[in-house]
Amino acid sequence: MATQTVTLAGDTDWPGFRSEARALLARQVPPEEVVWHTRASAAGDLFASLETQRPVVGHGSASAVVPPAFVRLCETVVLHADPARFGMLYRLLWRLVHEPGLRYDPLDAERVRVQHMAQAVRREMHKMKAFVRFRPIAQGDGLPPLHVAWFDPEHHIVEAVAPFFVRRFTQMHWAILTPQRSARWFPSDDGIEDLAGGRLDIGPGARREDAPPADAGEALWLTYYEHIFNPARLKLAMMQKEMPRRYWQNLPEAALISPLAAEAMARSGRMIDAAPTAPARRIVPLQPMTASAHHEPGTSGVDALSADPADALGQLKRATNRCRECPIGEHATQSVFGEGPIGAVLMVVGEQPGDQEDLRGRPFVGPAGQLFDRAIADLGWPRDALYVTNAVKHFKYELRGKRRIHKTPTQREAAACLHWLESEMAQVRPRAVLALGATAARSVLGRPVAVMQERGQWQTGPRGEQVLVALHPSALLRGDPAQRDEAYAAWLEDLSKATSLVQGEVHEAVPR
């Protein structure tokens, strides 16, 4: 079998490989008859323009089109250090042309291997950008210092990564030395202007000894690094995964990592054994209304509530507007207090106000409230016979563009608001409570509630009141539209457990 030898200009001669591969493919030369070699080359233009999807035409051959993704893959893989890379790429090109189904087979062993090679090159390029450290060298004669860095890459990536440093350090005169190739940037030169108004030279490799030693600035950095090192946060395996040991030689602090890591356990022990430090006293800003640390039911921290329940509810409403016991109140438009008659047969407790409730200052007037109105109309409950309120008095939300999207209050926020709800219940004195949703049920019953398991059931609250648990109407609005009618019927069935109570004793309610 006759073989053909192809010698490329250098290790990263992508234009040469592209030209030779086209010619070989046009002559229908199979991969097993081609031997690829490279020779030392001068600096070349690695980023020559390329027309993708270009037909390859030769004597006696049909037109062939390669996917643009394969061209980009080749540009990356030629930077790999594997000497067999050019043969693999030409063999894959041959198969793409002669096996059309290959481009749709992501599990092909040869494709997977080449893609892993490209991934290794990209990873090495990222590491070079992350771990190159420049050290200045004075040049004299009024010239700016030359900043020199040493890096030892596994693959032929210097020419590909050099433009990144040109863009990053355009005004700095620098050089990056590696064993195979070196790059030097002249920021202002009256001669050739290759990139960003300067000149980038690619030359032969160098030795580690050609890079300058540490300077005084690094010594100061090492002192700082040693003092901020926290042994309790050391994860050596994770650090070595992200920064393998072969890169440590490029980092000034690498000399400290091993001794600091070795001493980490002892330092952690000393930190644990050390006496606690006294934290600085936090100064709490004065609020217009001061709430006590512990609220007796019915007081809510308000110094003196009126003996008239209606007036007392008005005092509580004004007080909640000034409440800052949790962060929600700071961002809401206003507090949303309950509405309804004193002595209501049924107090309806929801989770928190929504967007419309926050803007209008009234409970249950948004989409969930409208669904609740529809339900009580279907059940024959007069709305003015119910006292409706929420477990949390301010609207918690997050901004998405210009929209305010509801966020569920945390248990801590609901607990901070609990004394307002207890004071409200103490003034209204309802016969029973309808708790809509998990937040409301937890606040009223004083325990976690599995709503889906306890829905439609009467429970006894901590003060002896009867509590009916049901879904919040917003749960129906968020549900599957195809099942909404069925879910609504089941919800009505749960609420109907209070129908006899509401319809039988409406006459006992005292209007506010």
pLDDT in tens, 119-173: 999 999 998 898 888 888 888 777 888 999 888 899 999 999 999 999 989 889 9
Q: What is the pLDDT of residue 212?
A: 79
What average pLDDT does the chain have? 82
Assigned domain for 118 exists: yes
DSSP 460-479: E-TTS-EEEEE--HHHHHHS
Higher pLDDT, 18 or 505: 18
Same domain, 388 and 431: yes
Residue 47 inside a domain? The answer is yes
Per-residue pLDDT band at 45 (split at 50, 70, 90): very low
β-bridge pairing 346-350 and 135-137:
unpaired
* 58 and 201 co-located in one domain: no
In-domain check, residue 197: yes
**Do both 314 and 459 map to the same domain?**
yes
Q: Which of 127, 142, 160 is the last residue of a domain?
A: 127
Give the Cα separation of 425 and 462 in Å (integer).
13
Question: Who's near 510: CB < 8 A, 6+ residues apart?
Answer: 341, 342, 343
326 within some domain: yes
Does residue 329 share a domain with residue 436? Answer: yes
Where is the domain boundary, 86, 110, 127? Answer: 127
Judgement on whether residues 123 and 238 belong to the same structural domain of the protein: no
Same domain, 233 and 204: no
Q: What confidence category does residue 116 fall into, taking pLDDT thresholds of 50, 70 and 90? A: very high
Whether 273 maps to a domain, the answer reads: no
Read off the pLDDT of each residue in 464-476 and give the average, rounded to a whole number: 93
pLDDT at position 474: 92
Q: Which residues contact 65 (CB under 8 A, 6 or more apart)?
A: 53, 54, 55, 56
| Count of domains forming the chain | 4
Is the domain of 393 the same as that of 483? yes
Tell me, yes or no, whether 494 and 347 share the same domain.
Answer: yes
Same domain, 359 and 475: yes
| pLDDT for the residue numbered 265 | 67
* Segments forming the whole domain that contains residue 160: 132-210
Q: Summarize pLDDT for 312-329 with one digit per residue, the tens.
A: 999 999 999 889 888 898
Domain assignment of residue 177, yes or no: yes
The reply to whether 251 and 264 lie within a common domain is yes
123 and 136 inside one domain = no
pLDDT band at 57 (very low <50, low <70, confident <90, very high): very low
Encoded tokens for 172: 């700095």
Final residue before a domain boundary, out of 143, 178, 210: 210
- Is 218 domain-assigned? no
Is 302 contained in some domain? Answer: no
